[in-house]
Amino acid sequence: MGTATVTQPRLDTTDLEQQVKEMYRKVALDPGGDFHFELGRALAERLGYPSAELDRVPAQAIDSFAGVGYYFGLARLQPGESVLDLGSGSSMDAFVAALQVGKSGKVVGVDMTDEQLAKAERLRAGAGFDNVSYLKGYIERVRCADGTFDAVISNGVINLAPDKQQVFDEAARLLRVGGRLAIADIVTEVQLPAGITGNATLWAACIGGAMQVQQYVEAIERAGLRVHTVQDNPQYRFVSRNAQAAVGKYGVKSVSILAFKA
Ligand SMILES: C[S@@+](CC[C@H](N)C(=O)[O-])C[C@H]1O[C@@H](n2cnc3c(N)ncnc32)[C@H](O)[C@@H]1O
């Protein structure tokens, strides 16, 4: 009798990048469309963004907001600080950060999806956010010098990255000593099986790439950052049936994390 070999599906990262770009192209161009996740102002308010702050941000940026948590309470951005937003999308968080750091500060958003960058730049120019700029590129390798930023922020993005260690290493490189990483992201209580982690479509849907929370924290610390806070964001709800099933089975959830560069 022969021995059966079980081949575990391996993630096709080229396919994943195309699927993520296609998903967020639609988020930029047609935020009222049908998505497996929530978008927009009601989501932002439920997560904890103060309405008074949202009132000062272009409404179209809020319409395409696809974040998973509010981490600005942890980030405590100060006037004059420089901030990097990894996966800045249509720029709602970059605008919120820009209001907090003021005209003497600066915010740089990085994203790989052309339509998100074009929308963000159009809204930035229209609203006169002179302290915000964007870089087209990957969060795994950002074209900025070591120690450039006081804070690195990110919302709902790192779960989409195939190599999260590379993202955290890059964030640590870009932070000054004493600077902080303040993020919200999707993680799991239990390691997802290979049938899910090998499926690019489930990654693009913000499930397949979710890392087990303890491993996620360890990856941040391996990058040379000290994790200070990990808090659950129960206000974040999963809308698709697939995602809701994964919540029950694997403890898929949103967390906000604050870490410092020693
Ligand atoms: C879930 S959306 C979040 C956008 C924004 N942070 C927000 O809260 O609305 C994910 C964004 O990250 C970008 N993205 C995903 N993976 C990326 C990568 N490896 N490099 C650069 N951008 C990436 C996508 O293009 C998309 O705009």
pLDDT in tens, 12-71: 999 999 999 999 999 999 999 999 899 999 999 999 999 999 999 999 999 999 999 999
In the chain, what are the domains?
A: 13-261 (3.40.50.150)
| 170 touches ligand 1 (CB under 6 Å) | no
Ligand 1 centre from 27 Cα, in Å? 10
Rounded to 10 degrees, the C-alpha dihedral 247/248/251/254 comes to 30
Q: How far is the CA of 157 from the centre of ligand 1 (A)?
A: 5
pLDDT score of 97 more than 90: yes
Tell me which long-range contacts 17-23 makes (C-beta under 8 A, separation of at least 24).
17/112, 19/200, 19/201, 19/203, 19/204, 20/112, 20/113, 20/160, 20/203, 20/204, 21/112, 21/113, 22/204, 23/204, 23/205
Q: What is the mean pLDDT of residues 230-249?
A: 89
CB of residue 87 inside a 6 A radius of ligand 1: yes
Ligand 1 atom closest to Cα of residue 37: 1
Using an 8 Å Cβ cutoff, are 91 and 68 in contact? Answer: no
Which residue's alpha carbon is at the smallest distance from atom 12 of ligand 1?
87
- Please give the distance, rounded to the nearest whole angstrom, from the Cα atom of residue 3 to the centre of ligand 1: 43
Q: Token pair 């699927």 is at which residue?
A: 19
- Rounded to whole angstroms, the Cα distance separating 196 from 10 reads 10
pLDDT tier, 198 (very low <50, low <70, confident <90, very high otherwise)? confident
Ligand 1 in reach of 72 Cβ (< 6 A): no
What is d(CA 45, CA 15) in angstroms, rounded to the nearest whole number?
33
Residue 6 has pLDDT above 70, yes or no: no
Please tell me if the CB atom of residue 197 comes closer than 6 angstroms to any atom of ligand 1: no
Cα–ligand 1 centroid distance for 163 (angstroms): 14
Q: Report the C-alpha gap between 17 and 191 in whole angstroms.
A: 22
Please give the number of the atom of ligand 1 that sits closest to the Cα of 154.
6
- The model carries a pTM of 0.95
Q: Picking from 84-93, 134-143, 155-164, 245-254, which range would have the lowest pLDDT averaged per residue?
A: 245-254
Residue 4 pLDDT class (50, 70, 90 cuts) = very low
Whether 66 is in the pocket of ligand 1, judged by its Cβ within 6 Å, is yes
Distance between CA atoms of 222 and 81, rounded to whole angstroms? 25
Ligand 1 centre and the CA of 5: distance in Å? 37
Average pLDDT over residues 231-244: 90
Measured CA to CA, the distance from residue 27 to residue 60 in angstroms comes to 11
Percent of the chain with pLDDT over 90: 84
CB burial of 69-91 (b: ≥16 within 10 Å; e: otherwise) equals bbbbebbebeeebbbbbbbbbbb
Band of residue 88 on the pLDDT scale cut at 50, 70, 90: very high
Quick check: helix, strand or coil at residue 127?
A: helix
Look up tokens 């260690």; give the residue. Answer: 165
Angle at CA 172, nearest 5°, toward 188 and 113? 70
